[in-house]
Amino acid sequence: MAKDQFEDAFGEFTDNFRKTTNETLKKMAKLVKKEVKKNTSIQDVHTPLWLKRMKHPYSGRSTLPHNNPLVHKVSGNLTSNVAIFQGDRKDELRVGVEESNVPYVGYIVNGTSKMVARDFLSFSLLSVQKKLRKMIVKDLKRAVKKQNRKK
């Protein structure tokens, strides 16, 4: 293979690889966003009366063990402000909450002196970690196969 042919083939492979990784990154961000929305919109028996009977399990003074980072839907404001944000680099996406619309999100994630922390963002990412890995492997294998067919 001549030098020019090699450079052309390598350039084509690089472009194809970059395109595939960008597509995969977008799919990954959408999956994480969907999981965060699910984990911030729990609706069940958590009425004010129920919380009182359970001795306020989310309170910082609660003696009940608390390791559940899920957040119950009250107004829907938190869930509706979950978004995908462009990072500093063009190949960087972040899933989070628009803090200007939900100024209390830090209190939920980090907790306060009166409320336990519920880091639903990290929990959501960990919940889909295996799916994300599979997605990466599948998409990159597909890109390599596509490149091999072009030869």
Instruction: Encode pLDDT of 90-133 as tens digits.
Output: 889 999 999 999 999 999 999 888 888 889 999 999 999 999 99
pTM, two decimal places: 0.79
Are the C-beta atoms of residues 20 and 132 closer than 8 Å to each other? no
The residues facing 95 across adjacent strands are: 84
Q: Note down the domain range covering 79.
A: 3-150
Q: How many domains does the chain have?
A: 1
Q: Does residue 17 surpass a pLDDT of 90?
A: no
Residues 6+ apart with CB under 8 A from 140: 17, 20, 21, 24
